[in-house]
Structure 1
Amino acid sequence: MQDATAQMALLQFMSAGVPQTAVPSSVHCDHLLLGRFGSDKDLPIALEANHEVFEFLGSVSNKYGVGFWKPGSGIIHQVVLENYAFPGGMMIGTDSHTPNAGGLGMVAVGVGGSDAVDVMAGFPWEVKYPKLVGVKLTGKLNGWTSPKDVILKLLGIMTVKGGTNKIVEYFGEGVASLSCTGKGTITNMGAELGATTSVFPFDESMARYLSATNRAALADLARKYKHLVTADAEVEKDPAKYYDEVIEIDLSTLEPHIVGPHTPDLARPISALKAEVKAKGYSNNLTSALIGSCTNSSYEDISRAADVANQALSHGVKTKSNLFISPGSEQVFETVKRDGFLATLEEAGGVVLTNSCGPCIGQWKRDDIKDGTKNSIVTSFNRNFRGRNDSNAETESFITSPELTVAMGLAGRLDFDPLHDELTGADG
């Protein structure tokens, strides 16, 4: 449970009259932290402003045996991926992006607080029996293309309503080429399809991630029962027989995508955006570039973003747009800091916010744009509905991968295509 939805859920659970939760449960303080000045200043402000809420959540969690992750410890879904998710498990969470754990082979579903209370009190959880969508991935990603582009492409195909009452299951030879956190990015944004959940089969990328996060025993267990956490041979051979719908995406030919504004299913390759900016009158003034959210705040995401920034810095180029970075967890923060990625992004002009949801859910206080001013922003987030990120209905919000977010922020223009356009550095 995250801190916004956990308040009512725990109040209801307290009335159940049971000494502790029937299943392992946790609370994550990630929603009530405003992004504005940077982590060092923003965290103390949030702790003071929401002191009573955090104290309540912490004390109730302690009483009933619920794990409590304090403010600044990270975004719920990244923390869950690092600590709780495992192949073959089932989990519900009081947040729509709970399916992020599907990147680690878990059936993870976002629910309302009352559903969570039922489960914590020992009652069964019920959901409408879903249809199955099989997404076959072939080939291998290359160049600027990232895991984010898989789900953005799929959103363009299925739309924000196409996944309703469906589970999206990924399979095919291309699956093994994706990292575990990359898979998490894809299943995370299954929420934007309206899907019940999304899931990948167990493979060695998941095993490597489990080992890297001190859970090698779970990797060994998944290997032992691999037949239970991977697709049956007959399913891969004849998917149309087992799925209600089959969609195929060739990773080798997939182009980097960008979606928006105002809806995550308005998708096109980055190469097509330049003409669209002119034709549709989108604001070419890219005021901010934001990296983070539960969708793209992993070590891999930030390292890829930092690599782009580092290449620009080697030619004397810094961001023309405001650049904000929200690490997904304390573990991500410490490792990207250790490896110099945060320093690189800060040198390029970035501001590091708290390890929290921040601007993705509207927890962003802008001092650069007055309300009602038309402008565009680019993010690595998951949602871009009108006014969502900064409460300004005239902000046109576009979503893409972390590396494209940085590249476009360096240019300061919405119509910049890093695959074909160039920036002039201080060295010419």
Structure 2
Amino acid sequence: MNRQDFLKTVTANDKVYSYYDIQELERRGIGSIARLPYSIRILVENMLRKFDGSIVTEDDITTICNWAPRYETPVEIPYHPARVLMQDFTGVPAVVDLAAMRDAVKALGGDPSKVNPRVPVELVVDHSVQVDHSRTTGSLDLNVSKEYERNSERYTLLKWAQKSFDNFRVVPPNSGICHQVNLEHLGRVVIAAPTDDGFVAYPDTVVGLDSHTPMINAIGVMGWGVGGIEAEAVMLGQPYYMSIPEVIGVRLTGSLRPGVTATDMVLTITEMLRHHKVVEKFVEFFGPGVASLSVPDRATISNMTPEYGATLGFFPVDDKTLEYLEITGRSEYAQLTEKYNKANGLFYSDNSNIEYTETLELDLSSVHPSLAGPARPQDRIALGDMKETFGQLLENSPGHGGRREPKQVSIEINNRHESIGDGSVVIAAITSCTNTSNPHVLIGAGLMAKAAVQKGLRVPSYVKTSFAPGSRVVSSYLENAGLMPYFEALGFHITAFGCTTCIGNSGPLIPVIEEAISSSQLNVAAVLSGNRNFEARIHQRIKSNFLASPMLVIAYALAGRVDLDLTSEPLGFDPNGQAVFLQDLWPENDEINQLTQSYVTLDCFTSQYSRIFSGDRFWDELNAAESTTYNWDDRSTYIKKPPYFDQFTDKPLELSDIHEARTFLVLGDSVTTDHISPAGAIPEDYPAGKYLIEQGVQKEHFNSYGSRRGNHEVMMRGTFGNIRIKNRMVNPKEGSFTLKYPESIEMYNFDAAMQYKKEHVPLVVLGGKEYGTGSSRDWAAKGSNLLGVQAVIAESYERIHRNNLVGMGVLPLLFQEGDSIDSLGLKGDETIHISGLANLKPRGKHEVRAVAPDGKETVFTVQSRLDTEVDVTYYRHGGILPFVLRQMLEE
């Protein structure tokens, strides 16, 4: 097979482009391309273009061309993403790893400059700004100034990387969220790469260091979130080895009814798909209802792909894609995108006869206004059920004695008496990439704010309001439409252009409010237009967190509480005592559409993105010198040289069974990467806080776990450090505690792990279903590794975290069907033995022997979640990075 035989040409923008014709494969009888889902066709093109007979073989191409809706065992293929997307929380540790790899190569006598991105990398600094200031005109400037004050070391590292690595670009802070910047500007849809003979066109594909990378699927770009370790390997030229996925087709019909938003739609889809169990699967949307959805509507659906558990939430390229490229200032891509995709069978047609693994159907007209919470994005609540749901939540809350009546306390704010209690909204945030890419709901929220102001309504002073758009384009069209003054009149001043409340950067509440919540054990609420609401993520004092559209965020902010039925009860009263209902404020679709067409214009996008890489005065003032290796500062509490390569040799270690291990934690279902590696505030009485105090860092300068990810000393201490994590070994206590055996002494998790390490005792974590849900947080695996966890045994895994564990040399094992912690009677005081590791095979079976203190043995079988030969290879090398480093040294 000669790939040159598949080269064809297409003309666009008065240029001739070569491309690899996947339809020629069908003409030659290699496979039926026309029956394949569009996302699988992109994999076909990728492998045809990268065919070399070595990494990508003829068998690989034949296999993917004959994609089967189901595979009894995983079938692995090498995939080559075109680029890598990063944000700073995950990007800083990735840069730290690359810098440490350069040191390791230099120490072994190699050329450190070999450690260099071989595919384009774009890093958007968006996750570090916090809402310290809100409800005032100067909030944005004050928060950005504080952001640089806290993070100058981290940002200097990123500026060094931009100067010292090839193929590495940085979008400086205060620009927007990586996913919206990717959607509105960085995404190419079709890439035209120069060759010796001209240009070759191919689909834009991306892997991102954030689980919400699939937002780019809205314009037909195949992208998903991966762990930092996997992304680093891709950056360094390695293929991304993946199992051929099942593809669930979701047929959309009808259209959304007036008064129903894209947020309501995505919460409905999230509930439906999470129930259907689409973990590790591609989801592809099709059907007549797709045409009724704008690209921002589709982006809202694609963005929440990790919330419903899938790898992709894909919309193939169609006319809406082309229109979006035009209005966002990428007209040079629009014509090429149309010509290329139509020529290569990648342009959407609703008349095609595509085969899916399964097909689900959703009538968009059946969607109703909704929220989700109080702690999981898939737990949808119909708007009319919120009052009853919160009452049940109170009734079932620990310490509430089965009562449903909310407790109220009186506080004083700015010399005014206020009353807060169970159900009070203390944070109302228009935040995150889920909704702030969508002009319809933002202009709708602006019109609601306008109506509320005109009726004399105000937001109670105990509600911390904030507005953090996903890009500066949002502020442009809202200002031009004359809506920003109404947002500001209700306290929704722009506080940041970045990810804030949804990532846990909500900032502090007024001290008197925090004190009232704590002393009276109040169950207060946050309402946010985000995509994540896991325990202790939004704010450590807030137990109930609800996802909602920006329009409902405005409504609940005005109401000041969530324990009411907005479909029948007033959300407030005007100065004359007249009741104001939600329908009195809700704008008509025609008015929203008219303003959207008038003010969301080409000029908004081109004026903002013309200077996207320039940065502000703070960025200009950062002093970062170019150098091949990084100059580590031993005094830094933000950036430390990691220990991964301290004992590095050019040969992998011999594997052996795990003997005399101890159970580190016994966990339940839906343990998230937030539980394992928190991103929010650092408690001063926890090991990470104590460490920082020992280093001379005052509490007010702790910053967050997320911002400290370049310092392994902080992150090790923060691993399994969520204040809401529930380790059954210390029931009913919550937080970062375990029992150290054989003494049966309660200790902080970190302290126990270090004691076990001194005693050379390996550790095992036991878990339930959906272990590692949530963010693509590589520190959840890195921290596990550094604490001495050698294996995790769970009932099921989320895709990214399983990959991260493999990438860090931690063995993911699966209970057999019917087995669980409870069914086997495991308590956590057992000594654990795992056999058969010297002869590892993909998905192999291993015997586990758990010996209780009284000598009773429980023997059971587990299955390795090393799914492929490549997984086994990575594990034998101690992880992906040691494997890649050894390959580099052989070049």
Same fold (TM over 0.5): yes
Give the aligned partner of residue 229 of structure 1.
Answer: 347
Question: Corresponding residue for 1:303?
Answer: 443
Residue 509 of structure 2, aligned match among 348, 354, 367: 367
- Structure 1 segment 14-413 matched on structure 2, within 5 A: 14=99, 15=102, 17-18=113-114, 21-37=117-133, 38-64=139-165, 65-87=167-189, 88-159=203-274, 162-224=277-339, 225-226=341-342, 227-231=345-349, 233-235=351-353, 242-281=355-394, 283-298=422-437, 300=439, 301-320=441-460, 321-368=463-510, 369-370=513-514, 372=518, 373-392=522-541, 394-413=542-561
One-letter amino acid of the structure 2 residue matched with residue 50 of structure 1: N
Look up the equivalent residue of 1:56 and give its one-letter code.
L
Contact 2:300 2:438 in 1 (8 A): no
Q: Which amino acid aligns with 1:398?
A: F
In the TM superposition, what is the alpha-carbon distance from 1:322 to its structure 2 partner? Answer: 3.1
Number of aligned positions between the proteins:
422
How much has 1:326 moved relative to structure 2?
Answer: 0.5
Rounded to whole Å, the distance in 2 between the matches of 1:415 and 1:248 is 33
Instruction: Give the 3-state SS of the residue equivalent to 1:185 in structure 2.
Output: helix
Judged with a 3 Å threshold, the aligned counterparts in structure 2 of structure 1 residues 419 and 206 are, in CA distance, closer, same or farther, namely: farther
Q: For 1:252 and 1:232, how far apart are their aligned partners in 2?
A: 19
Deviation at 1:333? 2.8
Give the whole-Å Cα distance in 2 for the aligned partners of 1:415 and 1:206. 41
Whole-angstrom CA distance in 1 between matches of 2:438 and 2:367: 23
> What is the distance in 1 between the residues matched to 2:575 and 2:364?
36
Cα shift readout 1:14-40 (whole Å, capped 9, x = no counterpart):
426338532221111111111120212
AA matched with 1:379: L
CA RMSD of aligned residues (A): 2.1
Contact in 1 for aligned 2:126/2:498 (Cα 8 Å): yes
Q: Equivalents in 1 of 2:115, 2:349: separation in Å?
A: 40
AA partner of residue 392 (structure 2): A
1:205, distance to aligned residue in structure 2 (A): 2.8
* Change beyond 3 A, Cα 1:128–1:9: same
Cα deviation, residue 161, structure 1: 8.4
Q: Which amino acid aligns with 1:230?
A: Y
Contact 1:292–1:325, Cα closer than 8 Å, also in 2: yes
| Residues 109-146 of structure 1: per-residue CA shift (max 9 Å, x gap) | 10111222122211111222221111111111122211
1:294-350 alpha-carbon deviations (Å, 9 max, x no partner) = 211125142221121112122112223332111112232333333333322111222
Tell me, in whole angstroms, the C-alpha distance in 2 between the residues paired with 1:290 and 1:278: 23
Determine the C-alpha separation between the residues in 2 that align with 1:417 and 1:43: 38
Letter of the structure 1 residue corresponding to residue 245 of structure 2? P
The answer to whether the 8 A contact 2:501-2:528 is kept is no
Bigger drift between 39-48 and 274-283 goes to 274-283
Distance 1:152 1:279, change over 3 A: same
Q: Provide the residue aligned with 1:11 in structure 2.
A: 96
Counterpart code for 1:204: D
* Structure 1 contact 160–194 (Cα < 8 Å) conserved: no
Other structure's SS at 1:68 match: strand
Secondary structure at the residue paired with 1:207?
helix
- 1:232 Cα shift? 6.3
Gaps of 5+ in 2: 1-85, 103-111, 134-138, 190-202, 396-421, 579-891
CA distance in 1, matches of 2:145, 2:500: 14
Over residues 241-265 of structure 1, what are the superposed CA-to-partner deviations in whole Å (9 max), with x where a residue is unaligned?
x222222111112101111101111
- 1:95 partner letter: D
Measured in 2, the distance between the counterparts of 1:58 and 1:18 equals 20
**Cα 1:204/1:268, change in 2 over 3 Å:** same
Q: Compared with structure 1, are the counterparts of its residues 232 and 63 closer, same or farther at alpha carbon in structure 2 (3 Å cutoff)?
A: farther
Separation of aligned partners in 1, 2:125 and 2:551: 27
> Which letter maps to 1:48?
E
Secondary structure of the structure 2 residue equivalent to 1:352: coil
Q: Secondary structure at the match of 2:366?
A: coil
Does structure 2 retain, via aligned residues, the 8 Å contact 1:144–1:419? no
Cα distance in structure 1, aligned partners of 2:233 and 2:349: 31
| TM-score of the pair, normalised by structure 1 | 0.92
Q: SS in structure 2 opposite 1:303?
A: helix
- Whether the aligned pair in 2 keeps the contact of 1:160 and 1:192 (CA below 8 Å) is no
Gaps of 5+ in 1: none
Corresponding letter in the other structure for 1:296:
N
Partners of 2:370 and 2:250 in 1: CA distance? 18
Higher relative contact order (CA 8 A, sep 6+): 1
Does the aligned pair in 1 maintain the 2:287–2:350 contact within 8 Å?
no
| Kept after mapping to 2: 8 A contact 1:133/1:169 | yes
Report deviation, 1:204. 3.0
